[in-house]
Amino acid sequence: MLCSAALKTRRLPVTAAAPAWQLIRAYGSSTKEFDTVVIGAGPGGYVAAIKAAQLGQKTACIEKRETLGGTCLNVGCIPSKAMLNNSHLYHEAKHNYTKRGIDVGEVKLNLDQLLADKDKAVTGLTRGIEMLFKKNKVEWLKGTGTLKSANEIEVSLNDGGVESIRAKNIIIATGSEPSPFPGFEIDEKQIITSTGALSLEKVPEKMIVIGGGVIGLELGSVWSRLGAEVTVVEYLPAIGAGMDAELAKAFQRSLSKQGIKFKTSTKVVDSEKIGGKVLVNVESAKGGKKETLEADVVLLSVGRRPYTEGLGLENVGIKPDAKGRVELADHQFRTSVPNIRVIGDVTMGPMLAHKAEEEGIAAVEYITNGHGHVNYNVIPSVIYTHPEVAWVGKNEQQLKEEGIKYKIGSFPFAANSRAKTIDDAEGLVKVITDAETDRILGAHIIGPNAGEMIAEACLAMEYGGSAEDVARTCHAHPTMAEAFKEACMAAYSKAIHF
C-alpha cells in the first residue's frame, strides 16, 4: 500500500506535460513506490541503499539471500579472512612459538571450531547490516528482483508470492559468481569453488588450485597451513595477475618456502574422478609436455563473471557486453536506460568490494545532487596471505608501456625496527614516482600489514602527493609505516636506515 503521505499528495492536473511518475502518485496505486530501489545487497548494493536513505530518499533493497552482505560477507572476503587469520595462528603455534619462548605442548587442529569461528564472524557482520538497514529505514525485500520496465520491478518473494514495486531510480548491484571451467563439474566437495573451500569437512591430503590469482592464493594458503599439500597451476608465467613483476617473483619465492608448489605457464586441459581422487590433465601453455596431477580436492579459482540471471535486462532493452557485463552509458553509472544505474562486479572495472562501495555512494550522490566521485587510479588491491601483498596505481611494466619516465624508491622490512622486533621482516616497500614532478604514481608492498599500509599510499595519491610530501611527514616510531616513509625518501633522495 502507498504510505499515508503519498495518499495525501495533492492531485496534479492531467496534462500532456505531467510526468508519468507524478500521475501515478497523484491518482494512487496499491503498488509500493520508492525513490530508489537497489537490486542486490552486497558491499556495493547495501552501501548504496544506506547512503540513499541517509540523503532522504525512500529506499528499498532487494536481496534473495536470507542474510545481507552478498558474496563478500557470506562466502567471500569475510569468511576467507577469518580462516586466513586462524590458520596463520595455527601455523605459528605449530612451527614458530617455541623460538619465541612460548611452549604450548602439542598443537592440534580443531577444524570444526575453526569453521565455527568463521561462521561467527559472518553472522555478526551480516546481522550488523540488517541493523543498519533498520536504523536508516531501508526496506529489505527478501526475494529476486526482475525488471519489468524502467520504473517497475517484480519481486519473487522467498516466502512465496510476487510483489510489484515502482521506483524513480534503480541501481543494479547484483555482483558476480565464480566462472565455470570446461572439463570440470563443480560439486563443492571434490571440485570446488571458493564457496566450497570455506567449508571442507576435512583437510585434504592433496589440493590443486587452478588459478594463481588472489582467491586461489589466499585459500590455497589456508589449506596449506592446515596440512594439505597444495599445488597451484597458473596459465600465465607469473602469479598474482596485475601485481608488479618484482613483487610477484618475491611473493612466489615466499609461498614456495612455505611448501606451496607452483606450475606456471601451464594449461589445464580437463579432469576426471577415479577411485575417490581427481585427476587433472595439464600441458605446457606453449604446447608440448603433458602431465596428469592427482588430488583429493581441486579448487577452481579462474576468476568471476557478472551475475544477471533473472534480472530481466531484456525487458528494458539493456544488452550486456560479450563478457556479460552491464555497460555504462556515462560516468554517472547510468545504463542505456537513464534512470537505471549499475555498480560493482556486474559492470566494468576490478571486481573488488571497496570499488563497489565507492561506486554505490557516488551513484546515489549523482541521483541526489548531480555530483559523485570515484578515482579509478587509486583503487588498491590486497592479497591477505602471509606475507600480505598490496598495491595501488601503476606498476613498472605499465609505465614502460606508456612511455612515462619514473623513479623508484624501495625499502626492505629487514631494515625496519618494528618488523625486526616481531621477527616478521620479510618483504619490502616499493614506491614509483614521476621522474620530473616526484608525484607518486604507484606503491607496491609485500610484507607484514601491507593491506593496512597501502591506505597511506592511497591518500597521498588521491591528493596528488609527492614522495617528498610523505617523507617529510612525521611517522611514529617504531612502526611498519616507517618503511613506507623510507621508501619515499629513497625515491626523491636517500633512505636513512638502508
List, by residue number, the catalytic residues: 477
Strand partners, 383: 389
Rounded Cα–Cα distance for residues 116 and 16 (Å): 61
Rounded Cα–Cα distance for residues 276 and 284 (Å): 26
* Residue tagged 491518482 (cell numbers): 27
Whole-angstrom CA distances from 395 to 65, 351, 440, 462, 485 are 38, 19, 11, 17, 19
Rounded Cα–Cα distance for residues 196 and 209 (Å): 13
Angle at 254 between CA 251 and CA 258, to 5 degrees: 135
Strand partners, 143: 157
Rounded Cα–Cα distance for residues 228 and 376 (Å): 38
Rounded Cα–Cα distance for residues 440 and 438 (Å): 6
Q: Give me the sheet containing 381-383, strands edge to edge.
A: 381-383, 388-393, 440-447, 428-434, 406-412
47, 126 in Cβ contact below 8 A? no
397: three-class secondary structure by DSSP: helix
Longest dimension (CA), the chain: 83
